[in-house]
Amino acid sequence: MNNAGALRHATVEDGKDEDFEHLWQVNALAPLRLTRAALPHLKRSGSGRIVNVVSLSGKRVRGDNAGYAMSKFAALALTHATRRAGWQDGVRVTALCPAWVATDMASDAGVPAADMIQPDDLCALVATVLALPNNASVAELLVNCRFEDSL
């Protein structure tokens, strides 16, 4: 499971290159590197599984944090490219796209932790995805904690 995540505020107009680069390194390139290392072994198994924790920010842009969304869109692209690369060898890849999750990273979100997705609930969803046979693959799993009008 690729659960890399960094959150920095980087807007199109005022974002610092260093913030964009940090987000890219952690949110996109780190999962790519782990995937590259694991994929040959997962292919040999015939039933390998990868879950990339992408975020709903990989599906839509809310607010002005372009840097975070850009890095998460890249993580979603990695997910689908890896699905294609591993499909014939039984590797199934899922993008887990949650909204706010009650973690330290979301502590400044302005959403009460009790109203956020609980980590244990995401773990239960991941366990279900991992247990599915090769002929029942979930490409993307969007998980909301509140109504999303753009999805």
Q: What is the pLDDT of residues 102-128, one digit of tens each?
A: 999 898 888 999 999 999 999 999 999
At residue 2 the predicted structure's pLDDT band, cuts being 50, 70 and 90, is confident
Per-residue pLDDT, averaged over 63-79, amounts to 97
Q: Which of 15, 42, 68, 86 is labelled catalytic? A: 68
CA–CA distance, 52 with 31 (Å, rounded to integer): 8
Q: Express as a percent the part of the chain with pLDDT over 70.
A: 100
Per-residue pLDDT, averaged over 48-67, amounts to 96
Q: How many residues belong to the chain?
A: 151
Domain 17-143: CATH superfamily is NAD(P)-binding Rossmann-like Domain (3.40.50.720)
pLDDT over threshold 80, residue 151? no
Amino acid at 87: W
What pLDDT is attached to residue 148? Answer: 87
pLDDT over threshold 80, residue 4? no
Map out the domains of the chain as residue ranges.
17-143
**pLDDT tens digits, one per residue of 75-107:** 999 999 999 999 999 999 999 999 999 999 898
CA-nearest of 47, 53, 50 to 35 is 50
**Would you say 92 and 141 are in contact if contact means Cβ atoms under 8 Å apart?**
no
For this structure, is 115 an active site residue? no
**Would you say 12 and 61 are in contact if contact means Cβ atoms under 8 Å apart?**
no
Phi/psi at 33 (5° precision): -65, -40
| C-alpha to C-alpha distances, 12 to 48, 107, 113, nearest whole angstrom | 38, 24, 29
**pLDDT tens digits, one per residue of 29-46:** 999 999 999 999 999 999
